[in-house]
C-alpha cells in the first residue's frame, strides 16, 4: 500500500521535542504511554530522551519497515514494546497487555488521510464496521461521505480507553479536532481540559492544511466541552475559547458574546448563485468583442440568454475592473421547460445540443428527470438589477454590491451567495452594513475559516440585518453607502432612471 494510503507524515524530531516538553510543562507526565500509530518511533524516541521517561511505552504501527526502525531505535529498552498491527483490528481496552499501572498518556500523530482519498487509492486502510460496532455513533461518522481516518482513531481511543482515564494529545487537522469535539458532546462523553495549539503544517509536513496539537483529558474531573485555542505550541495565553452555544460550535466565545445581538434570522433570503456543472459550454469569455467558450469555440447565440457572470475570483475589494465573462441562462426558474428554446432561441438551442454530451455527463442526481440543459440556483432573484454578493470560498469575507452591466443584471456562480435588490441605494446600504468592521468581527466569531467553504447560506442567514443596521452608527453607514454608490455610478452600473426610493423590507423579502 502507498505512503498516501497510510496518511504517512513522520513527525520531525524538533516538533516532537517541542510537544514532549510542552506536555511536561503542563504537568502531563505519565507512567504509561501509548503511541497508537508510531511510525519510525519519533515520539517514543523523544519521550525516552526527555528525562524521567515513562515506565512503559507501547507503540503500534502497521508498516513492517517502520516497526523495524522503531524497534531499532528503542534498542534493548525493556520499557518499550512495538506491536505490528492494524489498529482497526485491535481493541485498545483489552489487547495492550499493560505491565504497569498508573496514568496513561496517548501521544502521536495519526494518519492524515480521508476515506475518500483511500477510495481513490483503492486502499482498504479503513476501520471495518464490524470492529467498530460497539462504538455508538461511529456509523454516522464512517457513513459520512468524507471523514478523516484520524477522526475514527480519536473516537476509538476515547471509547476504548475511557475507563483508564487517559490524557490524549495528538497532532491532527483542526477540522478533525472540531469533529471529535462535536462527537464527544453529542454523546455526552466526559472530557475536560481540552486545548488546541496550532502548528504550521506547511512548515513541518509540507501540507496545506490547518493543523494542531489537540489535547484533552478523558473521564477525569468536571466535564467541559470548551476548548482553549493557542496560536502556537509556545504561546502561554490562549487567543480564544471555542465552545458551544446551543448546538453550534463557536470559534470565539468571547467575541461572540459581545456581538451576539447580530445573531438572529436574516430578514432576507440569501441565495446561492447559478449551478450548471457544464462550465466549458455555459461560461463564455469576451475576446475582442466576441464570445468564446472554454473549448475555444466562438459562440454566437441569442444575447437575451447571456448574462454578465461574476465568479469568486471577482469578489475582491479591489477587483472593480471587469473581467468580461458571461453565462448562458436558459431558464428563468428551476424546472422551466427548455424545449421552447427551439423556437424562441434557435441558435442557442443548436449550440446547447452540439454540447449535449457535456450536460449528459453531469453526475449530480439533481439533473435527473429535469428538462435538458437545466440549471439550478435560478429564480426571479437572478434577474434583479442590483445584488450584494459574497464568495463562499474566501477567508476574508467581502460583500460586493453590483449593479447592471451593459444594462443586464449580473449573475454569480454557485461558489457565491447573493441578496437581490431593486435599488442601488438599498444594495449599497446593505453591503456597507455587511462590510462594517463590527459585522466582520461577528463573522470571525462564528466562522471556521479553515473549512473548504467557510461561508455558507446557513451562516449568512444568521445575520439579523435589520437589527444590525439599527445598531451601527448611522453617519458611518451613510458615508460607506455613498462611497459604494459612487463606485457603482463610476462603473456605469446604475440605471439612469434609478430612483432614490428604497423598497420596503417586505418588498425585498419577496424577491
Ligand atoms: C502521520 S504518520 C505519523 C507517524 C508517527 N506517529 C510520527 O508521529 O512520526 C501515521 C502513521 O500511521 C501508520 N498507519 C497508517 N494506517 C495505520 C493502521 N491502520 N494501523 C496502524 N498504523 C497505521 C502509518 O504507517 C504512519 O507511520
State the CATH number of the domain containing residue 236.
Answer: 3.40.50.150
> Is 286 part of a structural domain of the chain?
yes
> Is 490 part of a structural domain of the chain?
yes
Are 228 and 129 in the same domain? yes
Look at the chain and count its residues: 511
Q: What angle do CA 151, 152, 153 make, to 5 degrees?
A: 90
**Does ligand 1 have an atom closer than 6 angstroms to the CB of 111?**
yes
Are 314 and 448 in the same domain? yes
Determine the Cα–Cα distance for residues 236 and 241; give it in Å rounded to an integer.
14
> Is 165 part of a structural domain of the chain?
yes
**Does ligand 1 have an atom closer than 6 angstroms to the CB of 62?**
yes
DSSP 501: P
DSSP 310: E
Nearest to 426 by CA among 503, 320, 497: 503
Q: Read off the C-alpha cell for 503.
A: 423598497
The residue whose grid cell reads 443548436 is 350
Q: How many angstroms is it from 180 CA to the middle of ligand 1?
A: 19
Residues of the chain with pLDDT under 70: 1-5, 115-146, 319-323, 496-511
Q: How many angstroms is it from 195 CA to the middle of ligand 1?
A: 23
Are 229 and 341 in the same domain? no
The answer to whether 198 and 174 have CB atoms below 8 angstroms apart is: yes
pLDDT of residue 511: 38
> Is 207 part of a structural domain of the chain?
yes
- Given 192, 215, 250, which residue is the final one in a domain? 250
> Is 315 part of a structural domain of the chain?
yes
pLDDT of residue 75: 86
Are 369 and 470 in the same domain? yes
Are 94 and 238 in the same domain? yes
Are 67 and 204 in the same domain? yes
Q: How many angstroms is it from 6 CA to the middle of ligand 1?
A: 6
Q: Read off the C-alpha cell for 171.
A: 497532532
Q: What angle do CA 155, 156, 159 make, to 5 degrees?
A: 80
pLDDT of residue 496: 60
**Does ligand 1 have an atom closer than 6 angstroms to the CB of 442?**
no
- Given 250, 284, 316, which residue is the final one in a domain? 250
* Average pLDDT for the chain: 90
> Is 258 part of a structural domain of the chain?
no
Render 175-221 in DSSP notation, one character per residue. HHHHHHHHHHHHTT--EEEEEEEEE-HHHHH---S-EEEEEEEES-S
Mutate to test the pocket of ligand 1, among 2, 16, 61 (most ligand atoms within 8 A of CB): 61
Cα 54 to the center of its chain, rounded Å? 38
DSSP H stretches of helix in 364-464: 424-434, 437-446, 457-460
Mutate to test the pocket of ligand 1, among 37, 42, 92, 112 (most ligand atoms within 8 A of CB): 37
> Is 8 part of a structural domain of the chain?
no
Q: Read off the C-alpha cell for 56.
A: 512503559
Determine the Cα–Cα distance for residues 184 and 196; give it in Å rounded to an integer.
15
Q: What angle do CA 493, 495, 498 make, to 5 degrees?
A: 125
Backbone angles phi, psi at 486, to 5 degrees: -60, -45
**Does ligand 1 have an atom closer than 6 angstroms to the CB of 9?**
yes
Are 167 and 284 in the same domain? no
**Does ligand 1 have an atom closer than 6 angstroms to the CB of 252?**
no
**Does ligand 1 have an atom closer than 6 angstroms to the CB of 8?**
yes
Are 29 and 150 in the same domain? yes
Q: How many angstroms is it from 110 CA to the middle of ligand 1?
A: 6
Render 262-304 in DSSP notation, one character per residue. GBS--SS--EE-BB-S-HHHHEEEEETTEEE-TT--EE---GG
Domain of residue 34: give its range. 13-250
Q: How many angstroms is it from 152 CA to the middle of ligand 1?
A: 13
Q: How many angstroms is it from 44 CA to the middle of ligand 1?
A: 13
Are 116 and 208 in the same domain? yes
Are 244 and 293 in the same domain? no
Q: How many angstroms is it from 268 CA to the middle of ligand 1?
A: 48
> Is 59 part of a structural domain of the chain?
yes
Determine the Cα–Cα distance for residues 110 and 10; give it in Å rounded to an integer.
10
E strands in 62-103: 80-84
Are 158 and 303 in the same domain? no
Tell me which residue has its CA closest to atom 27 in ligand 1: 39
**407 dihedral zone (left: phi>0; alpha: psi -120 to 50; beta):** left
Are 212 and 157 in the same domain? yes
Provide the domain count of the chain.
2
- Given 250, 285, 316, which residue is the final one in a domain? 250
Give the CA-trace dihedral at 204, 206, 212, 214, to 10 degrees.
Answer: -80
Amino acid at each position: 500500500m502507498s505512503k498516501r494510503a497510510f496518511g504517512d507524515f513522520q513527525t520531525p524530531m524538533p516538533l516532537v521535542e517541542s510537544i514532549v516538553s510542552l506536555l511536561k510543562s503542563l504537568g502531563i507526565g505519565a507512567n504509561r504511554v501509548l503511541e497508537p500509530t508510531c511510525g519510525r518511533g519519533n515520539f517514543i524516541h523523544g519521550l525516552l530522551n526527555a528525562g524521567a521517561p515513562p515506565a512503559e511505552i507501547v507503540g503500534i504501527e502497521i508498516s513492517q519497515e517502520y516497526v523495524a526502525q522503531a524497534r531499532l531505535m528503542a534498542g534493548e529498552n525493556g520499557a518499550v514494546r512495538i506491536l505490528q498491527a492494524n489498529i482497526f483490528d485491535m481493541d485498545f481496552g483489552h489487547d495492550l497487555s499493560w505491565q504497569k499501572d498508573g496514568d496513561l498518556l496517548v501521544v502521536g500523530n495519526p494518519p492524515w488521510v480521508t476515506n475518500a482519498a483511500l477510495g481513490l487509492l483503492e486502499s482498504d486502510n479503513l476501520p471495518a464496521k464490524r470492529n467498530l460496532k460497539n462504538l455508538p455513533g461511529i456509523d454516522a461518522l464512517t457513513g459520512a461521505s468524507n471523514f478523516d481516518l484520524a477522526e475514527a482513531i480519536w473516537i476509538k481511543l476515547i471509547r476504548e480507553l475511557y475507563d483508564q482515564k487517559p490524557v490524549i494529545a495528538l497532532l491532527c487537522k483542526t477540522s478533525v479536532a472540531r469533529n471529535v469535539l462535536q462527537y464527544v458532546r453529542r454523546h455526552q462523553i466526559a472530557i475536560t481540559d481540552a486545548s488546541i495549539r496550532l502548528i504550521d503544517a506547511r512548515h513541518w509536513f509540507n501540507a496545506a492544511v490547518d493543523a494542531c496539537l489537540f489535547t484533552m483529558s478523558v473521564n477525569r474531573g468536571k466535564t467541559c466541552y470548551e476548548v482553549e485555542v493557542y496560536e502556537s505550541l509556545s504561546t502561554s495565553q490562549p487567543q480564544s475559547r471555542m465552545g458551544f452555544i446551543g448546538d453550534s460550535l463557536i470559534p470565539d466565545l468571547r467575541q461572540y458574546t459581545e456581538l451576539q445581538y447580530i445573531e438572529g434570522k436574516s430578514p432576507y433570503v440569501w441565495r446561492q448563485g447559478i449551478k450548471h456543472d457544464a462550465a466549458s459550454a455555459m461560461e463564455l469569455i469576451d475576446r475582442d468583442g466576441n464570445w468564446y467558450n472554454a473549448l475555444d469555440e466562438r459562440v454566437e447565440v441569442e444575447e437575451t440568454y447571456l448574462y454578465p457572470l461574476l465568479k469568486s475570483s471577482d469578489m475582491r475589494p479591489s477587483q472593480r475592473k471587469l473581467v468580461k465573462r458571461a453565462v448562458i441562462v436558459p431558464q428563468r426558474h428551476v424546472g422551466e421547460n427548455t424545449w421552447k428554446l427551439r423556437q424562441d432561441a434557435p441558435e442557442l438551442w443548436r449550440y446547447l445540443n452540439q454540447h449535449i454530451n457535456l450536460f449528459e455527463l453531469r453526475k449530480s442526481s439533481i439533473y435527473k428527470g429535469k428538462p435538458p440543459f437545466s440549471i439550478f440556483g435560478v429564480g426571479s432573484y437572478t434577474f434583479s438589477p442590483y445584488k450584494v454578493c459574497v464568495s463562499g470560498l474566501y477567508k476574508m469575507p467581502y460583500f460586493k454590491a453590483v449593479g447592471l452591466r451593459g444594462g443586464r443584471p449580473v449573475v454569480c456562480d454557485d461558489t457565491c451567495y447573493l441578496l437581490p435588490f431593486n435599488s442601488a441605494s438599498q444594495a449599497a446600504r446593505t453591503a456597507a452594513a455587511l462590510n462594517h468592521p463590527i459585522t466582520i468581527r461577528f463573522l470571525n466569531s462564528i466562522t471556521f475559516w479553515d473549512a473548504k467553504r467557510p461561508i455558507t447560506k446557513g451562516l449568512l442567514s444568521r445575520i439579523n440585518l435589520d437589527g444590525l443596521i439599527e445598531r451601527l452608527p448611522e453617519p458611518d453607514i451613510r458615508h460607506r453607502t455613498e462611497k459604494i454608490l459612487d463606485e457603482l455610478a463610476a462603473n456605469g452600473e446604475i440605471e439612469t432612471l434609478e430612483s432614490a426610493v428604497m423598497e420596503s423590507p417586505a418588498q425585498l423579502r419577496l424577491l
